[in-house]
Amino acid sequence: MTLDPAGRPFIAGLVALTVLVAWWAPWLAAVGVVLTLFTLNFFRDPDRSPPHDPGTLTSPADGRIVRADASRISVFMNVFDVHVCRSPVSGQVMTIVHEPGRFLAAMKDEASEHNERIAIVVQPQDGPPVRFVLVAGLVARRIVCRVAPGSTVRSGERVGIIRFGSRVDLDLPTGAVGVVQVGDRVVGGESVLARRSPGPA
């Protein structure tokens, strides 16, 4: 199982703690084992196979659709979902903007405007730019972004990770039409959220 690098300090610490607890009180070691397994599951980083259609916008995260309208599609990740985030489209990263904020429950729409977040804008070869936002949640306290302005990304390529429960918003560019509904389960890097209309911005 491949793990995101952000999980290594947590896993190493839990393993060390479990060993110490096992020496002191073996019966308590079970708690450490459970926490270690949970952390391994949280930081898993499976490979994904994006669709080959360049006219689609793929889900930037695993989770459940909590908003789907003409302007935005939002994916909520619970603590059991994969939290590695991916680019919904191929293109060049134009801007990355970090906004400090609160840590409201990520299922609430207010989280998109008030929580800690990082907005990434990708310019595809054709059509208007695509903006998506990594939003911290009630438990998530850190967003790790691994791309920079000027870098080139492919649809479904990893761009970072949000730790321990969060949300990703995809702002639909002009001409894009969503194909999912609230309540749908989606897979980051594979599920199509919308179809866009290629052409000049």
**Per residue in 171-181, pLDDT tens?**
999 989 999 99
Q: What is the model's pLDDT at position 139?
A: 60
What pLDDT is attached to residue 1? 65
Average pLDDT of the chain? 85
Q: Active site residue: 59, 112, 166, 191, which one?
A: 166
Between 24 and 52, where is the model more confident? 52
Task: List the chain domain ranges.
Answer: 5-42, 56-195
8 in helix, strand or coil? helix
Which pLDDT belongs to residue 199?
45
pLDDT attached to residue 38: 74
Give the integer Cα–Cα distance in Å for 1 and 30: 22
Instruction: Please state the rounded mean pLDDT for residues 30-51.
Output: 80
pLDDT at site 69? 95
Summarize the chain as % helix, strand, coil (round to 5): 20, 35, 45
Burial class, 9, CB count within 10 angstroms (exposed 0-12 / middle 13-18 / buried 19+): exposed
How is domain 56-195 classified at the architecture level of CATH? Answer: Distorted Sandwich (2.70)
Is position 166 annotated as part of the catalytic site? Answer: yes
Per residue in 90-148, pLDDT (tens digit) is 999 999 999 887 666 666 666 677 778 999 999 999 889 999 999 987 665 678 899 99
As a whole number of angstroms, the distance between CA 148 and CA 155 comes to 16
